[in-house]
């Protein structure tokens, strides 16, 4: 039953059918399915397929936008249903999408999963300049700064962040972690980020390894 629902969820995103996507998200909750599993095995599969179709010139920007709206609405319903976790560790993390980049669906998943694992998360949004990221990180006294970039042209702002942290003399105050489709472990090593995460789960694992309570 759940497999069928995962397929329907993915298809609703490919079809850009927002009403259907929202209906499936609500149905999944009513059936007692795990919201995170529905996001990962259903809706995310759909948006990745949309990305492939866009890549191959079969979908254009209007289709991409309609699908991403459907994705955002369905995922918001599921995110809101994720139960808060027991506060096992008091790790504070600031999360942002870098300047010039408005992709925030993946960041939203990261924020939800970090909260599920009991972290105190400050989501400061998307298209955020480096200095604002650092100012807020200092203000909230976070342990970790996580940034997301989905464009080849914006991932350079992750390097800018590393450089600015050093220039401002505050690099040692934080662990940094980066993620997003074009980002790799190699890139993290190259710019001096503390960690790279392939997905939200990997992000939790890496942070728990880096920040001992």
Contact segment (CB under 6 A) with ligand B12 among 116-124, 135-143, 164-172, 192-200 equals 192-200
Q: Is 105 in the site for ligand B12 (CB under 6 A)?
A: yes
User: Can you tell me the distance from the alpha carbon of 160 to that of 169, in angstroms, rounded to the nearest whole number?
Assistant: 14
User: Can you tell me the distance from the alpha carbon of 203 to that of 133, in angstroms, rounded to the nearest whole number?
Assistant: 19
**DSSP H or E segment with residue 187:** helix 185-191
Alpha helices in 16-170 (DSSP H): 18-30, 35-38, 44-55, 61-80, 105-116, 130-140, 156-167
Q: Is 44 in the site for ligand B12 (CB under 6 A)?
A: yes
Q: How many CB atoms lie within 10 A of CB 65?
A: 11
Nearer to ligand B12, 32 or 57 (CB): 57
Site string for ligand B12, 120-159 (x = CB under 6 A): --------------------------xxx-xxx-------
Contact 3, 33 (CB under 8 A): no
Q: Is 211 in the site for ligand B12 (CB under 6 A)?
A: no
User: Can you tell me the distance from the alpha carbon of 91 to that of 211, in angstroms, rounded to the nearest whole number?
Assistant: 8
Contact segment (CB under 6 A) with ligand B12 among 2-10, 16-24, 49-57, 167-175 equals 49-57
Q: Which of 33, 106, 111, 130 lies at the binding interface for ligand B12 (CB under 6 A)?
A: 106
Instruction: State the residues that interact with ligand B12 by CB under 6 A.
Output: 44, 47-48, 50-51, 54-55, 61, 64-65, 68, 72, 95, 100-107, 109-110, 146-148, 150-152, 177, 179-182, 197, 199-200, 203
């Amino acid at each position: 039953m759940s497999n069928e629902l995962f397929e329907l969820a993915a298809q609703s995103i490919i079809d850009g059918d927002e009403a259907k996507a929202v209906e499936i998200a609500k149905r999944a909750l009513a059936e007692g399915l795990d919201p995170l599993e529905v996001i990962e095995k259903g809706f995310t599969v759909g948006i990745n397929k949309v990305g492939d179709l866009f890549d191959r010139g079969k979908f254009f920007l209007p289709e991409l936008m309609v699908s991403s709206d459907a994705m955002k609405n369905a995922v918001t319903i599921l995110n809101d249903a994720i139960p808060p976790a027991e506060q096992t560790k008091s790790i504070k993390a600031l999360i942002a999408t870098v300047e010039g980049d408005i992709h925030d669906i993946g960041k939203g998943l990261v924020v939800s999963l970090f909260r599920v694992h009991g972290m105190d998360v400050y989501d400061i949004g998307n298209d955020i300049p480096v200095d604002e990221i650092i100012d807020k990180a200092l203000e909230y006294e976070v342990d970790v700064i996580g940034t997301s970039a989905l464009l080849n042209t914006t991932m350079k702002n992750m390097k800018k962040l590393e450089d600015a942290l050093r220039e401002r003399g505050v690099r040692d105050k934080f662990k940094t972690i980066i993620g997003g489709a074009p980002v790799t472990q190699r890139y993290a090593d190259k710019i001096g980020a503390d960690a790279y995460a392939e997905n939200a789960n990997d992000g939790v694992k890496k942070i728990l390894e880096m920040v001992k309570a």
